[in-house]
Amino acid sequence: MGKDRVPIVLGSVAVVLAATTPVASAGEDGGNFGECGVLPVATQCYIEAPGFPGGSVDIDIDVVPAPGGEALPNRFFLSAPGQPDVCQGEFRAGDPMRTWACGGGALHAGTLQLNVAKRDNESVKMVLRW
């Protein structure tokens, strides 16, 4: 795995790590959330969310620039088994948390992967809900 990606692998047990390390947990009602802090420096933050039953998913994303940093354009990509980049969207770092509905009931069951672009000194919070 390259140094430009920060992985967050999710399961049924919450993982709690230091504030500068990615944090991930399984949601109680079906879904997962993750967080990538300012460190390590990476160009992407992503969640791998196993156990998706298929159908639709809601995505919540909040990217916070460093104090004094620019609110630059950002992107996310959601992939499902056999459906690479099936859902994508654009937003600006510093916007309030935004939500997208993806899949229209047609996402394949299995492990979802959500990738969010990340710049130096940005922190990323993201949630997959189903």
- Rg of the chain, C-alpha, whole Å: 14
Domain that holds residue 53: 5-129
Q: What is the DSSP string of 43-71?
A: SEEEEEEEEE-SEEEEEEEEEEPPTT---
Each residue's pLDDT tens digit, 1-33? 444 544 443 332 222 222 223 334 444 456 788
Beta strands in the chain (DSSP E): 5-9, 23-26, 31-36, 44-52, 55-64, 73-80, 83-92, 98-107, 110-117, 123-129
Q: Structural domain tally of the chain?
A: 1
Chain segment 53-88, per-residue pLDDT in tens: 999 999 999 998 888 878 888 999 999 999 999 999
| CATH number for the domain harbouring residue 38 | 2.60.120.380
Q: Tell me the whole-structure pTM to 2 decimals.
A: 0.74
